């Protein structure tokens, strides 16, 4: 078991945003989390990432309790990619410096899947892995497309060789064609680098495309769980059926 959440709750002003959440991510697995806007997905992601303190319950990483304050190793093991890459990037920093933030901050010397060379060579290799030409390294964020920026953020996330990446609506700000390309890239990276993913989206089609197992969240609670295969077969909660029928359009067929 890589990540385990036991009865995790997060309250804001005595109101439960995340309520009695049990969730597991096994090694090598991509777990989906789907729910409508406001259901508490981002809050749960922030709790997992240590960006919010949980009100009660427990987070375990390989069986060891994970506190909000994380040491260097713990921080490198769980990375995140958020919805809006522009908001995650400092407009005045060159791509190379944004990309190499974890490398610089964690004083990483080696990234085992890269050739052990200079910082700039490492940056080039990381960019190459996400399909961005190396000549973008000295450029600034405004010179990149939305898709390219998100690719840089993905490269940054893999740079610490994480065990787990939490994706919170990673393609929500991108057009449909770019979305599909990025989702395929994520699948390839996961296989090549043997990582686990928690893939969060309000888009059931994208979640089903990515995930082997899917949790359905509503009003702060996990109300249902399915595998990719039995999503359309098993006895599902009425709410889950509603979500599925809302996605029973040509778009989900294209992705599925």
Ligand X SMILES: Nc1ncnc2c1ncn2[C@@H]1O[C@H](COP(=O)(O)OP(=O)(O)O)[C@@H](O)[C@H]1O
**Residue ranges that bind ligand X, judged by CB under 6 A:** 12, 17, 35, 37-43
248 binds, among ligand X, Mg ion, none (CB under 5 to 8 A by kind): none
Q: At what angle do helices 176-193 and 146-158 cross, to 10 degrees?
A: 10
- Rounded CA Rg of the chain: 18
- Select from 35-43, 127-135, 217-225, 248-256 the region that touches Mg ion (CB under 5 A): 35-43
The 3-state secondary structure of 150-190, one letter per residue:
HHHHHHHHHCCCCCEEEEECCCCCCCHHHHHHHHHHHHHHH
Shortest Cβ distance from residue 167 to ligand X (Å)? Answer: 12
Shortest Cβ distance from residue 33 to Mg ion (Å)? Answer: 10
Nearer to ligand X, 52 or 163 (CB): 52
Among the listed residues 4, 17, 42, 98, the single contact to Mg ion using CB under 5 A: 42
> Starting at the edge strand that comes first in sequence, how are the strands of the sheet with 196-201 ordered?
78-81, 164-168, 196-201, 30-34, 213-218, 221-227
Nearer to ligand X, 103 or 197 (CB): 197
CB of 45 within 8 A of CB of 91? no
141 binds, among Mg ion, ligand X, none (CB under 5 to 8 A by kind): none
- Select from 34-42, 49-57, 111-119, 209-217 the region that touches Mg ion (CB under 5 A): 34-42
Nearer to ligand X, 18 or 183 (CB): 18
Nearer to ligand X, 33 or 226 (CB): 33
Shortest Cβ distance from residue 18 to Mg ion (Å)? Answer: 12
CB of 72 within 8 A of CB of 120? no
173 binds Mg ion (CB under 5 A): no
Instruction: Please give the helix or strand (H or E) that residue 252 lies within, else none.
Output: helix 250-255
Shortest Cβ distance from residue 3 to Mg ion (Å)? Answer: 19
Shortest Cβ distance from residue 247 to ligand X (Å)? Answer: 17
The 3-state secondary structure of 89-154, one letter per residue:
CCCCCCHHHHHCHHHHHCCCCCCCCCCCCCHHHHHHHHHHHCCCCHHHCCCCHHHCCHHHHHHHHH
43 binds, among Mg ion, ligand X, none (CB under 5 to 8 A by kind): ligand X
201 binds Mg ion (CB under 5 A): no
Nearer to ligand X, 163 or 203 (CB): 203
Residues near Mg ion, by CB under 5 A: 41-42
């Amino acid at each position: 078991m890589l990540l385990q959440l036991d009865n995790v709750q997060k309250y804001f002003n005595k109101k439960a945003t995340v309520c009695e959440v049990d969730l597991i991510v096994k090694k090598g697995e991509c777990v989906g989390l789907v729910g409508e806007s406001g259901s508490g997905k981002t809050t749960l992601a922030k709790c997992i990432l240590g960006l919010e303190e949980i009100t009660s319950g427990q987070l375990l990483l390989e069986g060891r309790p994970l506190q909000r304050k994380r040491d260097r190793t713990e921080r490198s093991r769980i990375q995140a990619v958020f919805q809006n890459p522009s908001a995650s990037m400092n407009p005045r920093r060159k791509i190379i410096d944004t990309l190499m933030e974890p490398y610089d901050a964690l004083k990483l010397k080696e990234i085992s899947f890269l050739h052990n060379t200079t910082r700039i060579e490492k940056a080039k290799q990381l960019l190459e892995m996400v399909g961005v030409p190396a000549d973008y390294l000295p450029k600034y964020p405004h010179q990149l497309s939305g898709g390219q920026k998100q690719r840089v953020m993905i490269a940054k996330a893999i740079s610490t060789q994480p065990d787990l990446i939490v994706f919170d609506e990673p393609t929500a700000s991108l057009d449909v064609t770019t979305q599909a390309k990025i989702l395929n890239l994520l699948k390839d990276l996961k296989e090549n680098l043997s990582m686990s993913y928690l893939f969060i989206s309000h888009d059931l089609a994208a979640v089903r495309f990515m995930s082997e197992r899917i949790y359905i969240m509503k009003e702060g609670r996990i109300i249902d769980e399915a595998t990719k295969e039995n999503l359309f077969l098993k006895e599902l909660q009425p709410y889950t059926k509603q979500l599925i029928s809302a996605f029973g359009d040509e778009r989900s067929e294209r992705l599925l």
